């Protein structure tokens, strides 16, 4: 069945060269029970690893069922191992946190066929562990653990069993049990190769090979009770070809569930550590969600605010003039009047104008009162600033001329004074003067730190003469015909007003009248909020990146800690892709948990900001998707390197890792 021709394997330690296996030729026939003996360091294990396809010889030939398999790649060797060879190790090598049943079933995961639980049950029962299925290795004696390992070596129906000092760590009673099981397997037809240094163990074998310094020094067959003449048990060149053909076996559900299980166990085994590394992603994702929500909330509220600003709007205010370096009080000599308003209204390409005057007032209704902003305007204001009431009406031209005591109130004032009741027709006291409420302003939302709905609007004349006691207007809103005329119009207004107020340009360093283009303000605000959103996004991304590095760190530790597990899985037939995906599943699982809890936390924080601080936040589906994909990507990207490290481990070195 197995034929080795002139196999050589050397190890280099510094400048010392050890010929661990030095030109061994050996043929093992089906049905044999071979014991390999020899002093420690004589090359027994090395030879067995080569026979078991765990390691590659430096030179020489390996024929399996007559087929030369010397030049196969790692993945092909892995599938041959999985199908044809069962391993039993001195240290048992069971997965610590998995049950006997799961341990025995491990090779099936990599067999690419449906998990056959009946087979696992049968093998465990055959080694006398029918009542120990759900015990973990630390709940089993050494002998029992080794019996689980034997069941594991058999679940895939291998053609040959390789046991390296299987009784080396056991007491004499367990030794007898194990050797009896092996002998029984051999009688039933399994080919067995066992490394041992104990003559009493070798006594059970049908052939004993003795090694010294990497060479075979004796090879004797013993006559034993008559044994059936074994054929190759169906192990033929064609079967090998079939296995190799399907060696790029698919990643299937069994592998995924096993990886998932293992990942969950690993996470729970190191709760604090896992929690901390998940926390990194969690904070990162929460930051992304909350900050994007905040950013787009701000953008949203600014958008409504900008809409209420009106279009093609200029705002004219008295500027500051300084005479020979001495600043005059703002507005002195440049106070705007109604005749200024009318003059500006006469300019070409002016659509309409409105005066404006502001102040703070105390408003009382019944036993409720509030301090709010009052704005006196003309009738046109309602159209220019998108302020026509949806409930009630705006005041009329006659009411402006007659200084009527009527008020249109904002939503905040409405809530403060009237609650849910209708205010229309009610009388409120504004600085102790009775006003009739005639309308409710449309909602404008919070702009920056100012609540735009916390206001009342009254006729400009009423505000000037009855409430604020001023005989001038503070600013003029001018609406141009089109966006293009605004620049020229703004210059014309300045010239006109300077002329009307007899202000000579040469005396003044500054403009006597400030004309602000609302379109420019709009653009500036939009740009600022966009910049803010990008900035917040950057900060959040950095947080995620830091979280990802945390995951990478933990995964590297995990790979190092579980080197032995990786070696075992490879011995059981896992190829490098299986190992890679296993660790990727683990890191993605961690980052997903972090991602999902991060989304929840981020949403919670956003909600809290709305409730407590009254900020406008808007959680978009896009930001949730972005954050989740990002966290999964972080899991893949930062998990890839550790996983690759794991996948590339040599099975023998990994198994030996301390
Ligand atoms: P045995 O199993 O018979 O005790 P081994 O096959 O384990 O012996 O080792 C044979 C020789 O090869 C020993 O001298 C050992 O030191 C050396 N050797 C085995 N594995 C390695 C390795 N990974 N690196 C260096 N030397 C090794
Ligand atoms: Mg050894």
- Asked, for residue 225, whether it belongs to a domain, the answer is yes
Which of 7, 21, 38, 41 for a ligand 1 pocket mutation test, highest count of atoms within 8 Å of Cβ? Answer: 41
pLDDT at 226: 45
- Asked, for residue 255, whether it belongs to a domain, the answer is no
- Specify the residue with its C-alpha closest to ligand 1, atom 27: 11
* Res 249 pLDDT > 80: no
pLDDT at 346: 92
Confidence of residue 197 (pLDDT cuts 50, 70, 90): confident
What mean pLDDT is predicted for residues 140-150? 94
> What is the position in ligand 1's atom list of the atom closest to the CA of 40?
4
Which of 10, 13, 18 for a ligand 1 pocket mutation test, highest count of atoms within 8 Å of Cβ? Answer: 18
- Specify the residue with its C-alpha closest to ligand 1, atom 25: 11
pLDDT at 515: 87
The verdict on 289 and 376 lying in the same domain is no
Q: Cα(584)–Cα(577) distance, rounded to whole angstroms?
A: 10
519 in ligand 1 pocket by Cβ < 6 Å?
no
Q: Cα(407)–Cα(254) distance, rounded to whole angstroms?
A: 74
- Asked, for residue 143, whether it belongs to a domain, the answer is yes
pLDDT at 658: 75
* Cα distances (Å, whole numbers) of residue 140 to 132, 147, 152: 8, 10, 15
The verdict on 551 and 469 lying in the same domain is no
What mean pLDDT is predicted for residues 510-519? 79
What mean pLDDT is predicted for residues 419-432? 92
* Res 209 pLDDT > 90: yes
- Specify the residue with its C-alpha closest to ligand 1, atom 1: 41
Per the DSSP assignment, residues forming a β-bridge with 318 are 513
- Asked, for residue 574, whether it belongs to a domain, the answer is yes
* Res 606 pLDDT > 70: yes
CA atoms lying within 13 Å on the CB side of residue 10: 11
pLDDT at 621: 85
Confidence of residue 307 (pLDDT cuts 50, 70, 90): low
The verdict on 237 and 176 lying in the same domain is yes
The verdict on 295 and 333 lying in the same domain is no
DSSP E strands, 366-430: 368-377, 391-392, 406-409, 427-430
* Res 265 pLDDT > 60: yes
* Res 518 pLDDT > 90: no
The verdict on 204 and 149 lying in the same domain is yes
Domain-ending residue, one of 464, 492, 517: 517
- Specify the residue with its C-alpha closest to ligand 1, atom 15: 41
Q: How far is the CA of 454 from the centre of ligand 1 (A)?
A: 85
* pLDDT, tens digit, 9 for 90 and up, residues 108-117: 888 876 557 8
pLDDT at 532: 81
* Res 378 pLDDT > 60: yes
> What is the position in ligand 1's atom list of the atom closest to the CA of 49?
6
- Specify the residue with its C-alpha closest to ligand 1, atom 22: 11
Identify the nearest ligand to the CA of 655 by its number: 1
Residue 355 contacts residue 476 (beta carbons within 8 Å)? yes
What mean pLDDT is predicted for residues 274-297? 85
CA atoms lying within 13 Å on the CB side of residue 255: 22
Confidence of residue 413 (pLDDT cuts 50, 70, 90): very high
The verdict on 535 and 440 lying in the same domain is no
46 in ligand 1 pocket by Cβ < 6 Å?
yes
* pLDDT, tens digit, 9 for 90 and up, residues 75-95: 889 889 988 899 999 999 999
DSSP string across 642-657: HHHHHHT--HHHHHH-
> What is the position in ligand 1's atom list of the atom closest to the CA of 39?
3
* pLDDT, tens digit, 9 for 90 and up, residues 35-64: 999 999 999 999 999 999 999 999 999 998
DSSP string across 340-383: HHHHHHHSTTEEEEEEEEEEEEEEEETTEEEEEEEEEE-TTHHH
Q: How far is the CA of 93 from the centre of ligand 1 (A)?
A: 19
Identify the nearest ligand to the CA of 12 by its number: 1
- H or E element that contains 217: strand 215-221
* Res 424 pLDDT > 90: yes
The verdict on 475 and 544 lying in the same domain is no
* pLDDT, tens digit, 9 for 90 and up, residues 98-139: 999 999 999 988 887 655 788 899 999 999 999 999 999 999
pLDDT at 498: 85
- Asked, for residue 244, whether it belongs to a domain, the answer is yes
The verdict on 236 and 278 lying in the same domain is no
The verdict on 485 and 535 lying in the same domain is no
pLDDT at 334: 75
The verdict on 266 and 344 lying in the same domain is no
- Asked, for residue 598, whether it belongs to a domain, the answer is yes
Lowest mean pLDDT among 216-225, 248-257, 356-365, 505-514: 505-514
* pLDDT, tens digit, 9 for 90 and up, residues 310-368: 778 898 988 765 555 555 555 456 789 999 999 999 999 999 999 999 999 999 999 99
41 in ligand 1 pocket by Cβ < 6 Å?
yes
- Specify the residue with its C-alpha closest to ligand 1, atom 5: 43
Pairing of strands 207-212, 33-38: parallel
Share above pLDDT 90 across residues of the chain, in percent, rounded to a whole number: 43
- Domain of 403 in residue numbering reads as 313-517
Q: How far is the CA of 96 from the centre of ligand 1 (A)?
A: 27
- Asked, for residue 77, whether it belongs to a domain, the answer is yes
Q: What is the pTM of this model?
A: 0.71
CATH number, domain of 232, equals 3.40.50.300
The verdict on 296 and 207 lying in the same domain is no
- Asked, for residue 184, whether it belongs to a domain, the answer is yes
């Amino acid at each position: 069945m197995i034929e080795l021709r002139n196999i050589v394997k050397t190890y280099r330690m510094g400048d010392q060269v050890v010929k661990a296996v030095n030109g061994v030729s050996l043929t093992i026939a089906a049905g044999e029970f071979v014991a390999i003996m020899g002093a420690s360091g004589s090359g027994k294990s090395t030879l067995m690893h080569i026979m078991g396809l765990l390691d590659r010889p430096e030179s020489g030939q390996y024929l399996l069922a007559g087929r030369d398999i010397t030049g196969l790649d790692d993945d092909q060797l892995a599938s041959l191992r999985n199908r044809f060879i069962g391993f039993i190790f001195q240290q048992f090598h069971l997965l610590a946190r998995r049950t006997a049943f799961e341990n025995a079933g491990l090779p099936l995961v990599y067999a690419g066929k449906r998990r056959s639980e009946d087979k696992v049950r049968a093998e465990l029962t055959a080694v006398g562990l029918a009542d120990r299925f759900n015990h973990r290795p630390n709940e089993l004696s050494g002998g029992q653990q080794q019996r689980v390992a034997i069941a594991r070596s058999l679940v895939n129906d291998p053609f040959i069993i390789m046991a390296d000092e299987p009784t080396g760590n056991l007491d004499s009673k367990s030794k007898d049990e194990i050797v009896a099981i092996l002998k029984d397997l051999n009688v039933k037809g399994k080919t067995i190769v066992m490394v041992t240094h104990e003559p009493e163990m070798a006594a059970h074998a049908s052939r004993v090979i003795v090694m010294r310094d990497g060479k075979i020094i004796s090879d004797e067959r013993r006559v034993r009770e008559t044994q059936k003449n074994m054929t190759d048990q169906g192990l033929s060149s064609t079967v090998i070809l079939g296995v190799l053909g399907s060696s790029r076996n698919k990643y299937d559900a069994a592998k995924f569930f096993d990886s998932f299980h293992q990942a969950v166990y690993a996470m729970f085994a190191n709760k604090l550590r896992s929690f901390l590394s998940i926390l990194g992603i969690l904070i990162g994702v929460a930051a992304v969600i909350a900050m994007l929500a905040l950013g787009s909330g701000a953008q949203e509220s600014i958008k409504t605010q900008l809409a209420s600003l009106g279009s093609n709007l200029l705002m004219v205010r008295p500027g500051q003039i300084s005479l020979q370096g001495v600043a005059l009080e703002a507005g002195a000599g440049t106070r705007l009047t109604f005749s200024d308003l009318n003059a500006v209204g006469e300019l070409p390409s002016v659509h309409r104008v409105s005066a404006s005057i502001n102040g703070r007032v105390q408003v009382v209704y019944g036993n409720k009162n509030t301090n709010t902003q009052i704005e006196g305007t003309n009738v046109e204001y309602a159209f220019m600033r998108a302020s026509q009431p949806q409930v009630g009406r705006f005041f009329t031209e006659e009411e402006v001329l007659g200084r009527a005591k009527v008020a249109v109130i904002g939503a905040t004032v409405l809530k403060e004074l009237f609650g849910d009741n209708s205010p229309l027709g009610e009388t409120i006291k504004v600085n102790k003067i009775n006003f009739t409420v005639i309308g409710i302003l449309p909602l404008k939302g919070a702009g920056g730190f100012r609540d735009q709905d916390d206001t009342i609007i009254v006729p400009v004349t009423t505000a000037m003469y009855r409430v604020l006691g001023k005989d001038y207007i503070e600013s003029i809103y001018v609406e141009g015909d089109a966006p293009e005329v605004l620049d020229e119009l703004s210059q014309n207004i300045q010239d006109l007003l300077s002329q009307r107020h007899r202000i000579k340009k040469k005396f003044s360093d500054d403009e006597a009248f400030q004309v602000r283009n609302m379109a420019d303000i709009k653009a500036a605000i939009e740009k600022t909020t966009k910049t803010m959103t990008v900035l917040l996004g950057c900060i959040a991304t950095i947080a995620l990146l830091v979280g990802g590095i945390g995951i990478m760190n933990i995964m590297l530790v995990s790979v190092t800690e579980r080197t032995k597990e990786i070696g075992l899985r490879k011995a059981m037939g896992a190829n490098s892709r299986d190992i890679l995906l296993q660790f990727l599943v683990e890191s993605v699982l961690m980052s997903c948990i972090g991602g999902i809890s991060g989304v929840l936390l981020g949403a919670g924080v956003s909600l809290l900001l709305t409730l407590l601080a009254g900020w406008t936040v808007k959680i978009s589906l896009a930001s949730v998707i972005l954050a989740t994909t990002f966290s999964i990507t972080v899991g893949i990207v930062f998990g890839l390197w550790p996983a690759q490290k794991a996948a590339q481990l040599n099975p023998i070195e990994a198994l030996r890792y301390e």
